[in-house]
């Protein structure tokens, strides 16, 4: 490894390589090796999920959210997709000297309001201030603890025939941040999908054991998350482009800027893998949630394309969808 | 509040005001209001401590430590002083684009080695990279979870006559960071005291219920920590300057640079308050630990100086020791 590049934080192949070659190797332990969105362990007899994320999004305010609410929802969602009920969250602030107090005020209020909406309590925190020029306005770390209530998530139980469901339209978060950062206006305004997934996921799980796997497609987007699922496994995933929900605004932005929506970060969507016979029931349950109206079955686990994700395009072709390599959009979260 | 200044992160009065007026007010809940070093709550029936800290120390390597080990020990110690056994820790990295991979490697290895020494497992993490110039090399967040094994810490049980103990010499961390940052060499080399406190604290507690309060005097130093104890209370603290352990190197540096050692951050020391009759027993137990050889009873809780800390100086005078106001040394941790 020579110099650290933006791609090392992009959620794609370089980041995975860095994590595997350095972080997991040095800190090696059974919990870390599982590489879930949260660490899972027991306290007393209670199974618990524990996760952390730092937020460096630029700009700190964007249509549909800001760094304060994003930091709360992002960590809440990492707990939710592990089948946990989010309980407690920490908030660590690194602030650039000279930041306007009113801006800090807005961010803290937004985080507080997000915590109330997500039903989680911010119970501990830390504030550091660095000299002007030593950080970019404000960085936020949140770490969260949740209690596992659904313990049937097991990537090894996924098998050919299973359905892949997305809970809503993809890519709004990335496009909203990009448009705010670059000052680009699209004819259809795009708002970030940043939102807590707790209620939607509870509906999807329904206590039935139908859902085998969940993950929120953040950095690297749906393409990267699906590649994480199939990586080194004896199955592939076949995606149907025609049914992948993409809003008009995101579609326009992608056409204009040459992005592929499959690689764009979402911050309020979840991917579910369920047994085939449960797919419609789970889909129906998700659609009952206000955040799940556009949910769709977008693909199937297959015997073909082992370890890979294959997209059947609208034009009738097929192409392999790799994990994000390099960095499409830095500082998206 | 107008602009955020370095003093808002300095651990002193401005930081306390910011936390009270904004953070605690907005996130208001019973756990946060207690303002302990860690949040305390139950998971199942198990009492748990949860804490977070971001580290922005400059330089990232200093005599006796680096940002990796400091981030692990700092969070471990925040758990320990709440009477918790540290169990799990998260590691969030914010890296400046262009950082040398070898530097990251050293920091990660140092954090791993610190975690092994402290008997804690790093179970989850996050890596973000920002553009060159958007952060200063690397910032590290650690959040930790521990199980409470000593539940007799209660600031309200402190009463006049109680003894105040420090576990070792003070101020080495601040002076070591300062000397590395400014390239100052003192005739006696000063190494940071950064170290895990778990074993020392276990010895001090001895299961006897003698210790009423513990805190590690980090930002703002011993003076600020003691002021936090007496603030708004019906007792004061009287300190005896002659017995406060200060190493030769720190003493020289303070004389040269005009610092007061009472305001210098420690990263491997703890302050204990115990009933008078237990003071010598607890002191003896602390001195049995390799990190506690220089421990001393430095003061007494008094009926006088209510809400204040009074120092009897070596020259025979008395002076009030306030909480740190403003910022003595930025980016010390």
pLDDT per residue of chain B (333 residues) written in tens, 0 to 9: 689 999 998 888 888 888 888 988 999 898 888 877 899 999 999 999 999 999 999 999 999 999 999 999 999 999 999 999 999 999 999 999 999 999 999 999 999 999 999 999 999 999 999 999 999 999 999 999 999 999 999 999 999 999 999 999 999 999 999 999 988 887 788 999 999 999 999 999 986 779 999 999 999 999 999 999 999 899 999 999 999 999 999 999 999 999 999 999 999 999 999 999 999 999 999 999 999 999 999 999 999 999 999 999 999 999 999 998 877 788 999
Of B8, B131, B133, the CB nearest to A6: B131
Chain B residues closer than 8 Å to A129 by CB: 4-10, 330
A125 vs B23, B115, B136: nearest CB: B23
Q: Are A291 and A195 in contact (CB under 8 A)?
A: yes
Best CA proximity match to A56, nearest among A175, A166, A229, A181: A181
Write the pLDDT tens digit of every residue in A68-103: 999 999 999 999 999 999 999 999 999 999 999 999
Report the chain B residue with the minimal C-alpha distance to residue A54. B92
Longest dimension (CA), chain A: 58
Cβ within 8 Å, pair A4-B96: yes
**pLDDT for A319 beyond 70:** yes
- Please tell me if residue A57 touches chain B, with a CB cutoff of 8 Å: no
For A259-303, the pLDDT digits (tens) are: 999 999 999 999 999 999 999 999 999 999 999 999 999 999 999
Compare CB distances from B124 to A43, A50, A131 and report the shortest one's residue: A50
Spatial CA neighbour of A264 closest among A188, A186, A169, A140: A169
Q: Do A44 and B41 touch (CB under 8 A)?
A: no
Of A1, A4, A101, the CB nearest to B4: A101
Structure confidence at residue A326 (pLDDT): 76
Q: Is pLDDT at A177 greater than 80 in this prediction?
A: yes
Residue A324: what pLDDT?
Answer: 85
The residues with which B122 forms a beta bridge, in sequence order, are B89
Q: Chain B neighbours among A 281-310 (CB < 8 Å)?
A: none
Please tell me which residue of chain A has the smallest CA distance to B32: A123
Rounded to a whole number, what is the largest CA-CA distance in chain B? 58
Please list the residues that pair with B100 across neighbouring strands: A3
Given a cut of 70, whether residue A205 has pLDDT beyond it is yes
By C-alpha distance, the chain B residue nearest A33 is: B123
Average pLDDT of the segment spanning A173-193: 91
3-state SS, residue B169: coil
Residues of chain B contacting residue A15, judged by C-beta atoms under 8 Å apart:
127
Dihedral angle of Cα A265, A268, A272, A277, to the nearest 10 degrees: -130
Residue B11: predicted pLDDT: 84
* Beta strand pairing call for B309-312 and B236-240: parallel
Interchain pair A130, B136: CB under 8 A:
yes
Task: Read off the pLDDT of each residue in A125-152 and give the average, rounded to a whole number.
Answer: 96
When pLDDT is cut at 50, 70 and 90, the band that residue A227 belongs to is very high
- B123/B118 Cα distance (integer angstroms): 14
- Contact criterion met (CB below 8 Å) for B233 and B308: no
Judge contact between A93 and B54, C-beta under 8 A. yes
pLDDT > 70? residue A207: no
Which of A58, A71, A174 is closest to B134 using CA atoms? A58
B53: left (phi over 0), alpha (psi -120 to 50) or beta: beta
Contacts of B129 in chain A (CB under 8 A): 4-10, 330
Distance CA A312, CA A297 (A): 14
Q: B129, A330: Cβ pair inside 8 Å?
A: yes
Contact between A94 and B94 using a beta-carbon 8 Å cutoff: yes
Q: Which long-range contacts (CB under 8 A, 24 or more apart) does A204-208 make?
A: A204/A167, A204/A270, A204/A272, A204/A282, A204/A285, A204/A286, A204/A292, A205/A83, A205/A150, A206/A281, A206/A282, A206/A285, A207/A150, A208/A278, A208/A281
Nearest to B127 among A8, A38, A50 (CB): A8
Nearest by Cα to B150 from B282, B269, B321, B248: B282
CA distance A107 to chain B (A): 11
Name the minimum distance, in Å, from the CA of B281 to any CA of chain A: 32
Residues of A in contact with B108 (CB under 8 A): 22-23, 26-27
Determine the pLDDT at residue B186: 78
Among chain B residues, the shortest Cα distance to A2 is held by B101
Q: How far apart are CA A29 and CA B31, in angstroms?
A: 31
User: Which residue, A269, A292, A267, is CA-closest to A282?
Assistant: A292
Quote the pLDDT of residue A221.
96
Query: Cβ contacts (< 8 Å) between A108 and chain B: which residues?
Result: 22-23, 26-27
Q: What is the CA radius of gyration of chain A?
A: 19
Q: Would the CB atoms of A3 and B96 count as touching at under 8 Å?
A: no
Q: CA distances (Å), B42 to each of A40, A120, A146, A147, B47, in order? A: 17, 15, 12, 11, 4
Q: What is the pLDDT of residue A185?
A: 81
Alpha carbons B222 and B30: distance in angstroms, whole number:
27
- Gap from A146 CA to chain B (nearest CA, Å): 9
| Backbone torsions φ then ψ of B42, nearest 5 degrees | -105, 140
Q: Which of residues 58-117 of B touch A (CB under 8 A)?
A: 58, 87-88, 90-102, 104-105, 108-109, 111-112, 115
User: What is the helix (H) or strand (E) element at residue B146, kind and residue range?
Assistant: strand B138-148
What pLDDT score was predicted for residue A232? 87
Asked if the Cβ–Cβ distance from A134 to B131 is below 8 Å, we say no
ipTM (interface pTM): 0.96
How far is the alpha carbon of B317 from chain A, nearest alpha carbon, in Å?
36
Choose among B142, B18, B9: nearest CA to A94: B9
């Amino acid at each position: 490894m020579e110099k650290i590049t933006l791609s090392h934080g992009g959620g794609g192949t370089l980041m995975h390589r860095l994590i595997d070659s350095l972080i997991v190797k040095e800190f090696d332990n059974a919990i870390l090796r599982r590489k879930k969105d949260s660490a899972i362990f027991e306290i007393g007899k209670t199974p618990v999920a524990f996760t952390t994320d730092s937020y460096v999004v630029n700009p700190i305010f964007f249509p549909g959210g800001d760094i304060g609410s994003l930091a709360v929802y992002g960590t809440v969602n990492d707990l939710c997709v592990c089948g946990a009920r989010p309980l407690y969250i920490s908030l660590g602030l690194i602030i650039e000297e000279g930041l306007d107090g009113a801006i800090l005020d807005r961010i803290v209020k937004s985080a507080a309001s997000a915590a109330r909406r997500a039903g989680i309590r911010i119970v501990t925190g830390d504030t550091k201030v660095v000299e002007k020029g030593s950080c970019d306005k404000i960085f936020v770390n949140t770490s969260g603890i949740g209690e596992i209530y659904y313990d049937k998530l097991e990537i090894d139980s996924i098998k050919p025939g299973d359905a892949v469901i997305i809970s809503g339209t993809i890519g709004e978060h990335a496009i909203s941040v990009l448009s705010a950062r670059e000052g680009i206006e699209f004819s259809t305004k795009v708002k970030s999908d940043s939102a807590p997934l707790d209620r939607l996921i509870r509906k999807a799980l329904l206590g039935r054991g139908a859902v085998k796997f969940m993950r929120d497609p953040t950095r690297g987007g749906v393409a990267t998350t699906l590649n994480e699922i199939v990586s080194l496994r004896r199955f592939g995933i076949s995606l149907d482009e025609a049914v992948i929900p993409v809003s008009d605004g995101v579609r326009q932005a992608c056409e204009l800027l040459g992005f592929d929506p499959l690689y764009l970060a979402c911050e309020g969507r979840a991917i579910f893998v369920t047994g085939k016979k449960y797919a419609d029931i789970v889909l129906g349950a998700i659609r009952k949630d206000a955040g799940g109206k556009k949910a769709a079955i977008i693909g199937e686990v297959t015997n073909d394309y082992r370890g890979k994700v294959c997209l059947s395009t609208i034009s009738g072709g097929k192409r392999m969808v790799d994990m994000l390599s390099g960095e499409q959009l830095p500082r998206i979260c």
